[in-house]
């Protein structure tokens, strides 16, 4: 037996012994202080679960309770690792420290001393830790990181309350590439001293190295609250935000980097495009081609082959890098650009370096874009120049390592497009389509998309297809759009196959389209294309695309796609298994999808961990995964609180969770909590809809909307019970809409449409699942075809098209005006017109419509729309007077005084008033209303969207910082 095996076995034995000691100590504590008597001694995890239920008796102080809960979760994770033979000897010191801390928090002094003695962690005197710290510092200065780490560990065993010991050890662990351990130590240092900005630097560095860039940004933000000018945190925050933006581009490539050209036809198109007449290119834009250019081009093509063959192998990446570097040193733009990409992606053993990437792109872009030949009247592209120009443009567009600047981005995109880069052409089209950094021009956008699509860029083919379907920038042509989507799908563009199927199922591109779509899908399935397998899995799951619903076939398709590393298929497989009550099997797939960066999977995995559903319960990890999913802190805290209550409830009633889904467990708890009556009935109906939506997810081509029912409901119920009229109205709207569904089911469509309008007024936007809304929309379309004067049906159609984003604002406004023409006495129609006039920038017409709605029927919530249109009108007036701004302030104050304090727009109203006072140079008043807005924001009901991106709030936050 080798020494490492012996070391591992000894570590495992020590931890096992420590856990047994703690188990006995906790059991005795529960008997002594809580009077609990068990027939037989429970295991460690059960002991911890009982402590959770008795925590207020054991520790009255809330902060101590929070520490204990976190430490128990870490201790539970430690026990699970060792019992499952999944321990890591490198974690041994951390695990022992966790168990010692648990003993301390529970007051198990004798148990703590026994653990320290047995594991060899006992210290000697109060001064020893300082000597060890000094010794550790000396080792660290001389780059002896292992020795330094051991000194700090020894010091921690003597004095576990010194934050600097944990932070210093974390620095060593970063140097030794033990990033998970560094993260834990940095977090512990922050718990002990949350005001030391250095600790946030260390934590953000550990998270950066773990490639948890969004969490690293949060750590930087927390540190910048202490020192807003800390240069390290400012730079790291920008780098991490850049890497987050880059990941989003890769995930949704229609605006960026999916640039794989696969077919021979595309290669021929590119060759024809790149060969230009020498007379078309000035000498200022071209070098004379020589043997060095030819030699480096040949060498770089060899490097590409090495990279492709050895994908993921650091040694092969290093070989390719050497070739790129050699070419770059001889002046090759292509060598420079490929080196830049390697820095950006963190290849060849390098860490990701956005700054170096940007510098190398600038070097490449500084070269002339063409190469002239001496023997023929043609020029070639200087490969790497246009590509680098496109990369620089994307950096400015997305704020990648530089401050975001849409105008600069547009200028670089224009250069790249004119120099022949297909991706640059597509991105230029996107900028023109959105009016980003330039004046919006749909005709020009379509033209550049066409040029890029002709060169075979899949993103451009998809973007152009969208314009052709809508008839934007030129005539509508669904048939041509279908052809473009086929080409994009064959290149493997994510989502193209789904959009193609959606288009062809609609019949827009001809009656034979559905069969054509099936043939394309089947052809891709025959070659085991992972995207095709995913689409077929969704078709079988939902019964879409002309296929019958078949869950067993769906599972087969998802499993094959998952084996081919399709993230979304892995997640959908986990969800399918979870709904079929195969929880333990499901968790493994959901975890893999979460680890791959799928936000929905991260959120679901957090829920599962919080409840211990199909896995060991781990609230600490649940908290981390939920935050990683971009859930807000409030929503995360609410779900963790809910999960604690559910687990306590089940333990107190000794309820089984077997054969239950995790939403059913929450349902069981919530129903026991709710009083009888309308609220309980509304909740039951809502939860039934939610469960049906979970079991019958929408096809990706149909989309979905709504908020997180599970996270929001506990607070909504409590707030309603505390007397919040706004929270009560939420449940009231659900009751009204439930009546609308009943009427729809009984074919009483007129009553259903009126009830929908009534429910929407009580609570907007209604929390509907997409399938229910589609049924209502389908009925409304049929009703309107039968009777073109049915304004209520048209009202439903407008709402559906707004949510599904299938019509422009001007088209929606035209339909809404038709509603008011058909029935001018309905206030809801005029309110809708007011909102749409506002979206179209016609602010005075918007104000008049809101006033007309309020004259017909007093609805205080509509006052916000009127006030906002007045503010936006004033903001466009360069010579707005004090009187103009006072009118805006008065309008918002009338909205605030007429509505409940937790109404949806109250915080925005305060922020808007504060902005007006700031523009009037009344800073004190601006601060007063800004603070009121922050207070109102803290009372915000969880089903309302966050106000963090509301422009006045962002501006005020920046100003007052």
The tens digit of pLDDT for each residue in 389-410 reads 999 999 898 877 788 888 999 9
d(CA 571, CA 231): 39
Residue 563 to residues 430, 577, 600, 688, 921, Cα–Cα distance (Å): 34, 16, 20, 33, 62
Q: Please, which residues have CB within 8 angstroms of residue 579's CB and are 6 or more apart in sequence?
A: 661, 694, 695
CB neighbours (10 Å) of residue 47?
20
Phi, psi values for residue 66, rounded to 5°: -60, -45
* Residue bearing the bigger pLDDT, 277 or 322: 322
Domain boundaries 368-453, CATH class: mainly alpha
Domains of the chain, by residue range, sit at 3-119, 129-229, 368-453, 542-693+710-722, 871-960
Query: What are the tens digits of pLDDT across the range 684-698?
Result: 555 555 555 455 555
d(CA 395, CA 252): 16
SS (H, E, C) 545-561: CCCCCCHHHHHHHHHHH
The pLDDT of 596-603, averaged and rounded, is 86
* Residue bearing the bigger pLDDT, 640 or 694: 640
pLDDT attached to residue 718: 66
pLDDT reading at 85 higher than 70: no
pLDDT reading at 746 higher than 70: yes
CB neighbours (10 Å) of residue 70?
18
CB neighbours (10 Å) of residue 582?
14
The pLDDT of 694-709, averaged and rounded, is 49
pLDDT reading at 750 higher than 60: yes
Residue 83 to residues 7, 44, 80, 409, 565, Cα–Cα distance (Å): 17, 11, 5, 55, 30
65 close to 55: Cβ distance less than 8 angstroms: yes
pLDDT reading at 185 higher than 50: yes
87 close to 15: Cβ distance less than 8 angstroms: yes
pLDDT reading at 751 higher than 60: yes
Beta bridge partners of 754: none
d(CA 803, CA 795): 13
Mean pLDDT (the chain) is 83
d(CA 826, CA 807): 23
pLDDT attached to residue 323: 92
* Residue bearing the bigger pLDDT, 383 or 504: 383
Give the three-class secondary structure for 305: helix
The pLDDT of 172-190, averaged and rounded, is 91
pLDDT attached to residue 562: 93
Give the three-class secondary structure for 317: helix
Query: What are the tens digits of pLDDT across the range 220-248?
Result: 999 999 998 898 898 888 878 877 776 76
| Triad 242, 562, 688: Cα angle to 5° | 90
**Paired tokens of 612:** 């211990």
**Paired tokens of 877:** 């007036």
pLDDT attached to residue 272: 47
pLDDT attached to residue 506: 60
Beta strands in 214-277 (DSSP E): 276-277
* Residue bearing the bigger pLDDT, 547 or 942: 547
Residue 371 to residues 284, 331, 339, 385, Cα–Cα distance (Å): 11, 13, 21, 11
DSSP letter, residue 353: -
Phi, psi values for residue 340, rounded to 5°: -60, -45
The pLDDT of 445-466, averaged and rounded, is 92
pLDDT attached to residue 54: 79
**Paired tokens of 767:** 């929390």
Query: What are the tens digits of pLDDT across the range 278-309?
Result: 556 777 888 888 888 888 888 888 888 888 77
* Residue bearing the bigger pLDDT, 817 or 125: 817
136 close to 151: Cβ distance less than 8 angstroms: yes
> For helices 619-628 and 62-83, what crossing angle results, to 10°?
100
pLDDT attached to residue 860: 95
* Residue bearing the bigger pLDDT, 257 or 614: 614
Query: What are the tens digits of pLDDT across the range 323-371?
Result: 999 999 999 999 999 999 988 888 888 878 888 999 999 999 999 999 8
pLDDT attached to residue 900: 93
| Burial 427-465, CB ≥16 within 10 A → b, else e | bbbbbbbeebbbeebbebbbbbbbbbbbbbbbbbbbbbb
pLDDT attached to residue 258: 34
CB neighbours (10 Å) of residue 51?
21
Half-sphere exposure of 907 (CA within 13 A, CB side): 23
Matching fold, domains 129-229 and 368-453: yes
Q: Which helix (H) or strand (E) holds 381?
A: strand 378-381
pLDDT attached to residue 14: 81
Query: What are the tens digits of pLDDT across the range 810-833?
Result: 889 999 999 999 999 999 999 999
d(CA 31, CA 39): 12
pLDDT attached to residue 696: 52
pLDDT attached to residue 257: 39
- Reported as a pLDDT band with limits 50, 70 and 90, residue 250 is low
pLDDT attached to residue 262: 37
Superfamily holding 129-229: Tetratricopeptide repeat domain (1.25.40.10)
| Selection from 713, 673, 719, 657 nearest residue 689 by Cα | 713
Q: Which percentage of the chain shows pLDDT scores above 70?
A: 85
CB neighbours (10 Å) of residue 637?
15
pLDDT reading at 84 higher than 70: no
pLDDT attached to residue 268: 42
| Burial 406-423, CB ≥16 within 10 A → b, else e | eebbbbbbbbbbebbbbb
Phi, psi values for residue 286, rounded to 5°: -140, 140
**Paired tokens of 25:** 């100590």
CB neighbours (10 Å) of residue 515?
11
pLDDT attached to residue 714: 61
């Amino acid at each position: 037996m080798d020494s490492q095996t012996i070391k591992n076995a000894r570590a495992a034995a020590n931890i096992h012994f420590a856990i047994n000691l703690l188990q006995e100590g906790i059991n005795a504590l529960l008997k002594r202080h809580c009077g609990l008597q068990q027939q037989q001694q429970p295991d460690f995890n059960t002991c911890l679960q009982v402590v959770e239920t008795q925590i207020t008796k054991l520790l009255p102080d809330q902060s101590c309770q929070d520490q204990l809960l976190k430490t128990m979760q870490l201790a539970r994770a430690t026990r699970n690792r060792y019992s499952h033979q999944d321990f890591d000897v490198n974690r041994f010191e951390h695990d022992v420290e966790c168990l010692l801390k648990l003993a301390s928090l529970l007051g198990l002094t004798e148990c703590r001393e026994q653990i320290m003695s047995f594991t060899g962690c006992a210290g000697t005197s109060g001064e020893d830790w300082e000597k060890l710290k000094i010794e550790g510092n000396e080792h660290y200065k001389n780059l002896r990181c292992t020795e330094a780490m051991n000194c700090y560990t020894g010091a921690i065993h003597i004095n576990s309350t010194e934050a600097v010991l944990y932070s210093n050890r974390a620095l060593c662990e970063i140097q030794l590439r033990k990033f998970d351990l560094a993260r834990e130590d940095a977090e512990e240092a922050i718990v002990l001293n949350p005001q030391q900005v250095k600790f946030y630097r260390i934590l953000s560095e550990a998270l950066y190295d773990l490639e948890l860039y969004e969490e690293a940004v949060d750590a930087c933000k927390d540190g910048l609250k202490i020192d807003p000018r800390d240069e390290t945190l400012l730079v790291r925050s920008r780098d991490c935000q850049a890497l987050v933006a880059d990941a989003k581009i890769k995930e949704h490539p229609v605006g960026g980097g999916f640039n794989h050209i696969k077919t021979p036809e595309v290669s021929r198109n590119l060759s024809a495009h790149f060969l230009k007449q020498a007379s078309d290119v000035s000498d200022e834009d071209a070098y004379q081609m020589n043997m060095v250019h030819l030699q480096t081009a040949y060498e770089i093509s060899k490097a590409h082959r090495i990279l492709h063959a050895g994908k993921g192998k650091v040694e092969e990446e290093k070989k390719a890098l050497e070739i790129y570097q050699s070419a770059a040193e001889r002046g090759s733009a292509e060598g420079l650009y490929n080196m830049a990409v390697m820095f950006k992606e963190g290849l060849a053993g390098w860490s990701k370096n956005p700054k170096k990437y940007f510098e190398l792109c600038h070097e490449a872009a500084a070269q002339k874009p063409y190469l002239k030949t001496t023997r023929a009247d043609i020029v070639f592209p200087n490969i790497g120049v246009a590509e680098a120009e496109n990369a620089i443009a994307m950096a400015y567009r997305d704020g990648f390592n530089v401050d975001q600047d849409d105008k600069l981005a547009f200028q670089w995109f224009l250069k790249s497009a004119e120099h022949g880069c297909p991706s640059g052409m597509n991105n230029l089209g996107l900028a023109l389509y959105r009016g980003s950094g330039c004046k919006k021009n749909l005709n020009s956008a379509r033209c550049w998309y066409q040029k890029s699509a002709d060169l075979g860029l899949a993103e451009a083919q998809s973007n152009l297809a969208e314009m052709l379907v809508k008839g934007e920038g030129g005539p509508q042509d669904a048939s041509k759009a279908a052809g473009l989507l086929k080409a994009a799908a064959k290149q493997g563009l994510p989502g193209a196959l789904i959009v193609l199927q959606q288009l062809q199922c609609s019949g827009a591109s001809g009656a034979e389209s559905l069969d054509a779509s099936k043939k394309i899908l089947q052809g891709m399935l025959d070659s085991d294309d992972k995207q095709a397998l995913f689409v077929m899995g969704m078709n079988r799951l939902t019964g879409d695309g002309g296929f019958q619903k078949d869950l067993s076939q769906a599972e087969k398709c998802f499993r094959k796609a998952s084996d081919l590393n399709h993230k979304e298929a892995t997640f959908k497989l986990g969800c399918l298994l979870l709904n079929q009550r195969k929880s333990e099997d499901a968790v493994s797939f959901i975890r893999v999808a979460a680890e791959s960066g799928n936000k929905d999977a991260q959120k679901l995995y957090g829920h599962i961990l919080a409840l211990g559903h199909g896995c060991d319960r781990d609230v600490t990890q649940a908290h981390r995964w939920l935050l990683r999913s971009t859930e807000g802190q409030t929503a995360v805290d609410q779900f963790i609180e809910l999960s604690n209550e559910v687990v306590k409830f089940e333990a107190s009633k000794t309820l089984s969770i077997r054969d239950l889904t995790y939403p059913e467990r929450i349902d069981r708890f919530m129903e026991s909590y709710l009083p009888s009556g309308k609220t309980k009935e509304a909740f039951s109906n809502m939860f039934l809809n939610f469960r049906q939506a979970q079991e019958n997810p929408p096809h990706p081509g149909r989309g979905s909307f709504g908020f997180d029912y599970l996270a929001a409901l506990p607070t909504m119920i409590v707030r309603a019970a505390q007397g919040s009229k706004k929270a009560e109205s939420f449940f009231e709207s659900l009751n009204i809409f439930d009546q609308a569904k009943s009427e729809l089911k009984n074919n009483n469509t007129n009553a259903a449409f009126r009830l929908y309008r009534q429910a929407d007024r009580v609570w907007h936007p209604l929390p509907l699942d997409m399938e229910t809304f589609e049924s209502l929309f389908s009925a409304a379309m049929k009703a309107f075809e039968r009777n073109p004067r049915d304004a209520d049906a048209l009202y439903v159609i407008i709402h559906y098209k707004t949510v599904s984003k299938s019509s422009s604002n001007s088209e929606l406004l035209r339909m809404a005006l038709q509603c008011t023409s058909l029935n001018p006495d309905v206030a809801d129609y005029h309110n809708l017109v007011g909102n749409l006039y506002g979206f179209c920038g016609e602010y005075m017409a918007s104000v008049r419509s809101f006033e007309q709605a309020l004259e017909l029927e007093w609805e205080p919530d509509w006052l916000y729309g009127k006030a906002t249109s007045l503010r936006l009108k004033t903001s466009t007036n360069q010579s707005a007077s004090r009187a103009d701004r006072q009118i805006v302030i008065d309008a918002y104050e009338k909205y605030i005084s007429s509505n409940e304090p937790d109404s949806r727009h109250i915080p925005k109203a305060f922020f808007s008033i504060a902005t007006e006072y700031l523009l009037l140079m009344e800073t004190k008043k601006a601060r007063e209303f800004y603070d009121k807005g922050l207070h109102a924001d803290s009372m915000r009901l969880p089903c309302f969207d966050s106000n963090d991106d509301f422009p006045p709030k962002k501006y005020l936050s920046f100003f007052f910082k």
